C-alpha cells in the first residue's frame, strides 16, 4: 500500500509539472523548452517533425493569411490539408473575401459556394498566404547598434535602420519577405523569413446561417454551434514559386500537409495549436489595465456600439445593405463585444489586483539592490504617470477622430491639404493636390457605402460627441451652428449637410473640383466639422504621443527587470513572449470547465443544439432546411461519434488569441481534429492574464466540417482530396494473474 501511495503521489507531481496550457511558444525553442512536457502529455512526433528548416515539418503546413504581398502581420491562420494546396481556415477569416466576391445575383455569403473542380475556383481579392521558411535570433545584431548615451527616440531610429538593413539582406532580391519584430518589449528581436503566395482562390464556403450560426449573440459564448470554416487553395507558377494570378498557375504542391483524423476527442486528450496569434499583453502593468478598463475600452465600446446600431437598423431592412456592410459589421461587432467582455472579466477576475501583488513583490526585490534600484526603480512610477495622462487626454483623441471620419466630414478630410495650401497662398501646392484629388474615383468610393447608413452614422457620431463632453469642451460649431441655426437639432443639421455640402455626393464633389474655391470650403458645414475636429486632435496629439512613448520606454525597462526578477526568484520558470503576429505553438488538452457555482460545461456540444437554438427567419439563429433535416434524421454517416451523435464544437485548454482564428488544432500524431475559432466569455481577461481554471479555446470539430462538406454540400471532390484517417478499434483485453 505504501509503495502504491508513493507511486500515486509521484504521478500527481508529474502531472502538475507537465500540464502546460499557458504559453504561446516560439517554434525554434520547442525542443529545448517544451518537448519533454509535450511527450508526457501525448505528443508522438519528434522535434524535427514539428519544426525544421532543412526538412519538411509540421510548420510548413501552417499559413499566415494576409492582405498584402508583403505582410508584416496576419489577420488569421490557415492550414494546408492536401497535396494540392487546399487550405482550411475559419468562415469569419474568409468572410471579407467572400463578401467582396458576392453580389445580389451571386450572394455567396447567403447561399454558400462550392467549386466542383479547379476551373470553378475564384481568385480571392487581397488575400495572401505566407509560409514560414525559417526564424532566427537577431537580438545581438539589433541591440548592437544601441549605445548607453542614446535616448529612447535615438534608440528606436538606430534599431529601425538596422532592421531595414537585415531585412533587405535576407530578402534575396525580393524572393522572400523577412519580418523582424521585437519581443519582451524590445529586449529581444527575431527575424521571420516568409515566402508569400499571392494567388489564393475560394474553393468552398457554407452559407452564413451555418458559418455564422449564433451571430453576435453566441460570439465568445459556450456552447457554440457554429460551422466556422471556409476553404481556399494556394496557387503557384509551374515551378512552385509565388506568382500573381494567372490562368497558367497550378495548385501549390506543399512541403507538408496535415492529415485529418476521424477519431474525435476525449476528456484530457493532448492537443496542440499552431498559428499566428495577434496580440497579448501578459506583461502589462496594473496601471495599463486600469486605463483600459476605466477609459480606453469604454470609449471604443461607446463609439462602436452606436455605429453597429445604425448598421443593423438598415442591414435588417435591406439585403443589399446587409451584403454591403457585412464585413465591416462583423469586424466592428467582434471588437465591440471583445472589449465589453474584457472590461467585465478583468474586473471580475481581479486581474489588476493580481498585477499589484506581483508589482509589490517586484518593487521590494528592486529596492534590495542599489544597481537594480538605479536601473528599474522609476519604471513603475513613470508608467503610473503616463497612464494618468492618457486617462485625461484619450477622449480628446478618439471621439474627434471618429467624428472626423464620419460621412461628408470624412470626405472633406481628403481636401484639407488643398485648403491649407490655399490658405498659405501656395498655388503650386494647391494645383498638385487638386491633380491628386482628380485622380480619385469618387463614384467607386461612394458605391461602397449606402447614403442612409452614412447619413445616420454622421448624425449619431455628432450626438455621441456632445454627450461625451461638457459644453465648454465642445467645438464652436455646436453653439454657433447647431444650437443657434438649428435650435440644437443635430438630425436637422445632418440633413442640411447632406443636402448642401460639397462633400455629400460624387456629383457635388466633381462640380467643386471643376471650380474649386476656398470660400466654398469655409462655408461648408461638413468641412467645418472636419476641420474643428482636426484642430482638437492637433491640440492634444503631442501630449498623447508623449504619454504613449513614455509607456513604451518604461514598459521596456519594467519587463527587462521583471525577467531578471523571475530568473532570481523562480529560476525554473520559462517565460514566453507576448503574441505579436508571429508563428507560435501552444499545447494543452481537451477539457470541460465550471464557469460558476453549480454550473458545469461539457467539453463537447452536438448538432442537437442547432435544433434547440433554431429560430426560423431569425437574423442569427436561422438554419438551412437541409441541415435541419439531416440532423433530425441523424444522418451523419462516418462523421458520427460512437454514440451516433454529431459533435459540432469542442473545448481545449490551449492558449490562443486573435490571429489564431483558423489555426489547426491537432492531436499527438499531428493530425487535424478541428479548427480553433474563439475563446470563452468567462476568460475574456485572458489576453492580459491567463486563467487556467476558466480559459478555454472553442474549436469546430473536423468531423462537423467534413459533414457539411460531404453530407450537406455534396462536395465529394474535396473529401476525396483529403488524407482522412481513422484508428482501428482496440480489442478489449482481460488482465490475468500469473
Instruction: Provide the pLDDT for residue 277.
Output: 98
Distance CA 537, CA 229 (A): 41
Instruction: Provide the pLDDT for residue 704.
Output: 98
pTM: 0.93
Read off the pLDDT of residues 536-583 as tens digits, 9 standing for 90 and up.
999 999 999 999 999 999 999 999 999 999 999 999 889 999 999 999
Say if residues 662 and 676 touch (Cβ distance below 8 Å).
yes
Mean pLDDT to the nearest integer, 137-148: 97
**12 vs 302, which has greater pLDDT?**
302
Evaluate if residue 9 carries a pLDDT over 90. Answer: no
Cis peptide before 476 (omega within 30 of 0): no
Evaluate if residue 202 carries a pLDDT over 90. Answer: yes
Going by C-alpha positions, the residue among 326, 330, 306 that lies closest to residue 315 is 326
Read off the pLDDT of residues 614-642 as tens digits, 9 standing for 90 and up.
999 999 999 999 999 999 999 999 999 99
Q: Which residues are registered as beta bridge partners of 134?
A: 193
Instruction: Provide the pLDDT for residue 36.
Output: 94
Q: Output the nine-digit C-alpha cell for 142.
A: 539589433
Evaluate if residue 698 carries a pLDDT over 90. Answer: yes
Read off the pLDDT of residues 586-596 as tens digits, 9 standing for 90 and up.
999 999 999 99
> Lowest-pLDDT range, 161-170, 422-431, 660-669?
422-431
Distance CA 716, CA 711 (A): 9
651 CB neighbour count, 10 Å cutoff: 26
* 37 in catalytic set: no
Say if residues 130 and 71 touch (Cβ distance below 8 Å).
yes
Distance CA 692, CA 23 (A): 11
Say if residues 150 and 158 touch (Cβ distance below 8 Å).
yes
Mean pLDDT to the nearest integer, 446-474: 96
Backbone angles phi, psi at 95, to 5 degrees: -55, -45
Say if residues 300 and 335 touch (Cβ distance below 8 Å).
yes
Q: Which of 661, 678, 685, 687 is catalytic?
A: 661
* 92 in catalytic set: yes
The class (CATH top level) of 20-139+173-278+579-738 is mainly beta
Instruction: Provide the pLDDT for residue 727.
Output: 86
Distance CA 260, CA 263 (A): 9
Evaluate if residue 737 carries a pLDDT over 70. Answer: no
Evaluate if residue 19 carries a pLDDT over 80. Answer: no
* 67 in catalytic set: no
Instruction: Provide the pLDDT for residue 421.
Output: 92
Read off the pLDDT of residues 519-534 as tens digits, 9 standing for 90 and up.
999 999 999 999 999 9
Evaluate if residue 20 carries a pLDDT over 70. Answer: no
Mean pLDDT to the nearest integer, 202-224: 97
> Lowest-pLDDT range, 255-264, 491-500, 723-732?
723-732
Instruction: Provide the pLDDT for residue 731.
Output: 53
Q: Which of 199, 216, 228, 678 is catalytic?
A: 228
Backbone angles phi, psi at 14, to 5 degrees: -65, -45
Residues of the chain with CATH 2.40.10.120: 20-139+173-278+579-738
Q: Which of 92, 256, 257, 556 is catalytic?
A: 92
Read off the pLDDT of residues 492-504 as tens digits, 9 standing for 90 and up.
999 999 999 999 9
- Tell me how far the alpha carbon of residue 469 is from its chain's centroid: 31
435 CB neighbour count, 10 Å cutoff: 9
Read off the pLDDT of residues 47-86 as tens digits, 9 standing for 90 and up.
999 999 999 999 999 999 999 999 999 999 999 999 999 9
Q: Output the nine-digit C-alpha cell for 55.
A: 526538412
Distance CA 561, CA 211 (A): 45
Instruction: Provide the pLDDT for residue 21.
Output: 83
Evaluate if residue 5 carries a pLDDT over 60. Answer: no
Evaluate if residue 732 carries a pLDDT over 60. Answer: no
Summary mean pLDDT of the chain: 94
Provide the CB-side half-sphere exposure for 583 (13 A, CA).
30
Going by C-alpha positions, the residue among 188, 55, 243, 240 that lies closest to residue 134 is 55
Amino acid at each position: 500500500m505504501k509503495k502504491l501511495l508513493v507511486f500515486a503521489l509521484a504521478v500527481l507531481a508529474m502531472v502538475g509539472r507537465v500540464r502546460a496550457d499557458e504559453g504561446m511558444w516560439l517554434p525554434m525553442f520547442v525542443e529545448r523548452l517544451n518537448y519533454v512536457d509535450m511527450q508526457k502529455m501525448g505528443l508522438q512526433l519528434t522535434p524535427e517533425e514539428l519544426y525544421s528548416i532543412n526538412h519538411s515539418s509540421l510548420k510548413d503546413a501552417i499559413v499566415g493569411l494576409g492582405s498584402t504581398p508583403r505582410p508584416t502581420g496576419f489577420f488569421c491562420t490557415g492550414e494546408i490539408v492536401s497535396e494540392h494546396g487546399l487550405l482550411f481556415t475559419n468562415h469569419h477569416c474568409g468572410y471579407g473575401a467572400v463578401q467582396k466576391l458576392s453580389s445580389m445575383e451571386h450572394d455567396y455569403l447567403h447561399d454558400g459556394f462550392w467549386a466542383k473542380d479547379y476551373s470553378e475556383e475564384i481568385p480571392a481579392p487581397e488575400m495572401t498566404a505566407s509560409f514560414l521558411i525559417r526564424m532566427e535570433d537577431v537580438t545581438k545584431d539589433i541591440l548592437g547598434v544601441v549605445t548607453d548615451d542614446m535616448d529612447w527616440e535615438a534608440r528606436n531610429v538606430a534599431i529601425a535602420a538596422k532592421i531595414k538593413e537585415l531585412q533587405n539582406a535576407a530578402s534575396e532580391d525580393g524572393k522572400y519577405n523577412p519580418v523582424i519584430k521585437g519581443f519582451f518589449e524590445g529586449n529581444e528581436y527575431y527575424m521571420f523569413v516568409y515566402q508569400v503566395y499571392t494567388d489564393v482562390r475560394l474553393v468552398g464556403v457554407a452559407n452564413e446561417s451555418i458559418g455564422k450560426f449564433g451571430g453576435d449573440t453566441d460570439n465568445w459564448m459556450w456552447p457554440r454551434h457554429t460551422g466556422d470554416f471556409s476553404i481556399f487553395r494556394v496557387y503557384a507558377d509551374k515551378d512552385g514559386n509565388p506568382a500573381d494570378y494567372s490562368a497558367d498557375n497550378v495548385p501549390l504542391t506543399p512541403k507538408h500537409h496535415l492529415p485529418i483524423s476521424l477519431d474525435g476527442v476525449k476528456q484530457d486528450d493532448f492537443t496542440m495549436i499552431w498559428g499566428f496569434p495577434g496580440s497579448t499583453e501578459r506583461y502589462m502593468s496594473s496601471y495599463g489595465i486600469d486605463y483600459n478598463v476605466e477609459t480606453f475600452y469604454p470609449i471604443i465600446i461607446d463609439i462602436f456600439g452606436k455605429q453597429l446600431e445604425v448598421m443593423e437598423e438598415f442591414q435588417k431592412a435591406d439585403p443589399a445593405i446587409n451584403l454591403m456592410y457585412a464585413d465591416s459589421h462583423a469586424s466592428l461587432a467582434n471588437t465591440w463585444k471583445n472589449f465589453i467582455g474584457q472590461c467585465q472579466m478583468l474586473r471580475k477576475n481581479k486581474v489588476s489586483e493580481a498585477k499589484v501583488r506581483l508589482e509589490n513583490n517586484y518593487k521590494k526585490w528592486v529596492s534590495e539592490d542599489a544597481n537594480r534600484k538605479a536601473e528599474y526603480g522609476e519604471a513603475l512610477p513613470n508608467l503610473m504617470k503616463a497612464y494618468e495622462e492618457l486617462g485625461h487626454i484619450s477622449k480628446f483623441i478618439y471621439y474627434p477622430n471618429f467624428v472626423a471620419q464620419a460621412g461628408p466630414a470624412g470626405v472633406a478630410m481628403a481636401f484639407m491639404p488643398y485648403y491649407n495650401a490655399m490658405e498659405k497662398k501656395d498655388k503650386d501646392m494647391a494645383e498638385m493636390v487638386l491633380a491628386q484629388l482628380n485622380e480619385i474615383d469618387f463614384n467607386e468610393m461612394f458605391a461602397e457605402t449606402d447614403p442612409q447608413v452614412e447619413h445616420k452614422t454622421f448624425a449619431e457620431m455628432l450626438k455621441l460627441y456632445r454627450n461625451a463632453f461638457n459644453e465648454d469642451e465642445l467645438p464652436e460649431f455646436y453653439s454657433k451652428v447647431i444650437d443657434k441655426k438649428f435650435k440644437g437639432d443635430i438630425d436637422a443639421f445632418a440633413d442640411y449637410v447632406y443636402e448642401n455640402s460639397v462633400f455629400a455626393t460624387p456629383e457635388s464633389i466633381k462640380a467643386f473640383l471643376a471650380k474649386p474655391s476656398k470660400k466654398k470650403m469655409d462655408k461648408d458645414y461638413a468641412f467645418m466639422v472636419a476641420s474643428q475636429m482636426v484642430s482638437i486632435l492637433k491640440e492634444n496629439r503631442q501630449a498623447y504621443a508623449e504619454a504613449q512613448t513614455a509607456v513604451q520606454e518604461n514598459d521596456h525597462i519594467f519587463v527587462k527587470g521583471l525577467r531578471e526578477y523571475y530568473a532570481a526568484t523562480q529560476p525554473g520558470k520559462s517565460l514566453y513572449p507576448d503574441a505579436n503576429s508571429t508563428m507560435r505553438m501552444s499545447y494543452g488538452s481537451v477539457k470541460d470547465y465550471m464557469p460558476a457555482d453549480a454550473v458545469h460545461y461539457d467539453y463537447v456540444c452536438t448538432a442537437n443544439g442547432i435544433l434547440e437554438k433554431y429560430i426560423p427567419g431569425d437574423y442569427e439563429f436561422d438554419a438551412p432546411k437541409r441541415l435541419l433535416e439531416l440532423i433530425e434524421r441523424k444522418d451523419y454517416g462516418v462523421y458520427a461519434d460512437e454514440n451516433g451523435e454529431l459533435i459540432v464544437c469542442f473545448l481545449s485548454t490551449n492558449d490562443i488569441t486573435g490571429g489564431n482564428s483558423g489555426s489547426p488544432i491537432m492531436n499527438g500524431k499531428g493530425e487535424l481534429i478541428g479548427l480553433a475559432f474563439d475563446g470563452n466569455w468567462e476568460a475574456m481577461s485572458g489576453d492580459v492574464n491567463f486563467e487556467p481554471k476558466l480559459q478555454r479555446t472553442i474549436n469546430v470539430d473536423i468531423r462537423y466540417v467534413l459533414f457539411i462538406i460531404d453530407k450537406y454540400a455534396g462536395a465529394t471532390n474535396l473529401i476525396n482530396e483529403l488524407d482522412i484517417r481513422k484508428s482501428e478499434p482496440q480489442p478489449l483485453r482481460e488482465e490475468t494473474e500469473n
